[in-house]
Amino acid sequence: MSFFLPPKICLVAFASLVMLTGCTREFIEGTIGVDYETTNRFAKNLAPLPGQFVKDEAAFERLVASFTGNIESHWGKNDVRVAGKRDYVKYTDNYLSRASVDFERGRITIETVATTDPKSHLKQAIITTLLTPEDPAHVDLYSDRGITLEGQPFLLGQVVDQEGKDITWEWRANRFADYLIDHRMKTRKVKFQKSFYVEIPLVRNHWSKRKYKYQQYVRAASRKYGISEDLIYAIIKTESSFNPYAVSWLMPMV
């Protein structure tokens, strides 16, 4: 089943989604009047000429094949998880550790398949996930590259520790990680080995906390195109659940 939206609604919907996914810097700059540096490490190599697109697409496919191949070698073909529109997924620790945030269901899963001192590996993965900054420039979703833990955590206000406190600083993340490992750690079979993992629920109104981070952009688009803010928010929630790291694996249709 398909449906048609008037051009004005389609345009503002597209603009709203681009704000979340970082697809085109020039489009965003022209739409909402901002200027920012490219945060995707591959953006500098985007095709300057139309005929170069095929080469860029092939390079991206090779990147994805290498990335998923590394995941399969540690987690098996049946346990490959990658970032998407509503899910944040980040591998670290030579692909031995993985953090997943399901923004639709409101659940964080952090796990490791390290065979030597898995609790230590899991603890570091927990701390890294809780303190991952909201600036995408610090996070490479297509590799196991480490994360620079500086700036405000992107999960701030959406997850609380065992005392019901927000997690802003490393000492609190460290203490919460110890608590999780002592009280909530579970195991499951992955490939021919064990995965040690913990699950952390997001706060009940987590999506609304992410929603207001885009308030200025939604307001600007609403005024420019004459579309209600509620409609724009609804489109963004449906498409990405306000995931600040939303990515799409579909190649653009031209």
pLDDT digits (tens, 9 = 90+) for 98-118: 999 999 999 999 999 999 999
Contact, 97 vs 75, CB < 8 A?
no
* Residue 223 CB neighbours (<10 A): 10
Q: What average pLDDT does range 4-18 have in this prediction?
A: 43
Q: How far apart are CA 123 and CA 174, in angstroms?
A: 8
pLDDT at 93: 97
Instruction: State pTM to two decimals.
Output: 0.77
Residue 54 has pLDDT above 70, yes or no: no
Confidence at 4, pLDDT banded by 50, 70, 90? very low
Least confidently predicted of 79-93, 197-211, 239-253: 239-253
Phi, psi of 172 (to 5 degrees): -75, -40
pLDDT at 10: 42
Q: Which one has a higher pLDDT value, 47 or 159?
A: 159
To the nearest whole number, what is the mean pLDDT of the chain?
82
By CB atoms closer than 10 A (0-12, 13-18, 19+), residue 236 is buried
Output the DSSP codes for 29-93.
HHHH-------STTGGGS-SSGGGHHHHHHHHHHHHHHHHHHHHHHH-GGG-----SSEEEEEET
**Strands of 193-201's sheet in order across:** 87-92, 97-102, 107-112, 193-201, 186-190
Give the residues across from 190 on adjacent strands. 193
Q: ∠ CA 248-155-67 to the nearest 5 degrees? A: 35
Confidence at 44, pLDDT banded by 50, 70, 90? low
Query: Residue holding tokens 């885009």?
Result: 214
Q: How far apart are CA 55 and CA 3, in angstroms?
A: 34
Residue 202 has pLDDT above 90, yes or no: yes
